[in-house]
Amino acid sequence: MRTPIPDTHLDLLTRPVHGVLATIMPDGTPQSSVVWVDTDGQDVLINTTLERQKGRNMLHNPRVTVLVVDPQHTERWIEIRGRVVELTGEGAEDQADKLTRRYGAGQKSHFYGDIYPVEQKYKETRVIARIEPQHVALDAVFK
């Protein structure tokens, strides 16, 4: 069942704040990756490749958690537990470019060519992982 992302914390998914994506390895152990995060207002969007561990894990088991902590106020955070409902290549390179600009990679505007060599895109399958929130937790309890 979908849980809405509260407007009060939506900025953590639209500002250049790094998140931590937790996936599950085939043997059941957790695996965490620092990621750039995005949202369409309903779902969390993570850009990756099917060849990376997190991509392989999401193909194997769609259950994931994304944690984003406000760097200015670390007691303010959002944890989104959900399921990967789609892994699509459609628009993935454009989104990677958008995130390259958002996360302030200097004057860089293209993921392939500025962050990674252009040749890299022919060696991997870039995708957007669409994560449907099923549980959302907010902030520290000791306010």
Q: DSSP characters for 54-92?
A: HHHHHHH--EEEEEEE-SS-TT-EEEEEEEEEEEE-TTH
Residue 140's pLDDT band, with cuts at 50, 70 and 90, is confident
How far is it, in rounded angstroms, from Cα 56 to Cα 54? Answer: 5
Q: Is 2 strand, coil or helix?
A: coil
The structure's pTM equals 0.93
How far is it, in rounded angstroms, from Cα 75 to Cα 26? Answer: 33
Residue 114's pLDDT band, with cuts at 50, 70 and 90, is confident
Q: Which domains does the chain have, with CATH numbers?
A: 7-138 (2.30.110.10)
pLDDT at 108: 81
* Dihedral (CA of 7, 131, 61, 58) sign: negative
Give, as one character, the DSSP assignment of residue 21.
E
Span 33-59, pLDDT tens digits: 999 999 999 999 999 999 999 999 999
Q: Give the E-state strand segments of the chain in sequence order.
A: 19-24, 30-35, 37-39, 44-49, 63-69, 77-88, 126-138
